[in-house]
Structure 1
Amino acid sequence: MTKYLISFPSAAMVLSDDDLQAASVASRAVVQEAKDAGVWVFGGGIDESIPPVMVDGDGTVRKGTYPQTAQLDGGYCVLELPSYDSALEWAAKLAVACRCAQEVRAFHYDPAS
């Protein structure tokens, strides 16, 4: 089976406090559904209070990140699913729960995992 990344940027969730609470409850229900279905691999939100750093090949740590990922934030989950269509179905459930569009990307298949 293939692993899929389903995600959204923080800016996509523009919700009132009440709607945010409802989205939180609804998204936790979808996460539980994915766990119960045995497709959940990992998920969480980026802690935007901790700035990203780069770790070079020699172990040197420096502030910053790749320019194209400087705005990496929001929520992410990885699901292991039998098909792309299944990934789209789970993304739709998350979009409804989170009240914002979800991006779907497939990881390269690794037969060793």
Structure 2
Amino acid sequence: MSKYLISFPSWAMTASGAALEAAGRESRAVIEDAKRAGVYVFAGGVDEAVAPVRVGAGGAVTEGGYPDGPVINGGFAVLELPSREEAVHWASRLASACRCDQELRVFMFDPAS
């Protein structure tokens, strides 16, 4: 089985008011289904009120992320699934609940994990 990252950037979530509340309820229901199905690993969102820092090998801390890198924000779910088809199914459910497209990526297997 592989672990899949299902995510969306903050700007993709355009719902507001009652639609945003419904999206929250519905996306949490999908996550609860994933837990019941035994495929849930982790889910959450990046706290955009806390600025990122870069930490060097020697422990030096630099304010901000990589200067030329993408901004990382939005919501994320990691599910462990038997196939890409299953991953597409769960991503589609989250897209429907969140009212925005989801990116789907697979983690490379690390035998030490």
TM-score by length of structure 1 reads 0.95
Q: Which amino acid aligns with 1:102?
A: Q
2: CA distance between counterparts of 1:68 and 1:92? 27
Specify the alignment match of 2:34 in structure 1. Answer: 34
Q: Which residue of 2 aligns with 1:57?
A: 57
* Partner residue in 1 for 2:89: 89
Task: Give the 3-state SS of the residue equivalent to 1:109 in structure 2.
Answer: coil
Percent identity among equivalent residues? 55
Deviation by residue 1:47-85 (Cα, 9 ceiling, x = unmatched): 00000000001000110111213x110000100000011
AA in 2 matched with 1:64:
G
Q: Distance in 2 between matches of 1:32 and 1:2?
A: 20
Q: C-alpha displacement at 1:16, in angstroms?
A: 2.1
In the comparison of the two structures, how many residue pairs are matched? 112
Could you say which residue in structure 2 is the equivalent of 1:2? 2
Q: CA deviation at 1:17?
A: 0.7
Give the TM-score of the pair, scaled to structure 2: 0.95
Gapped runs of 5+ residues in structure 2? none
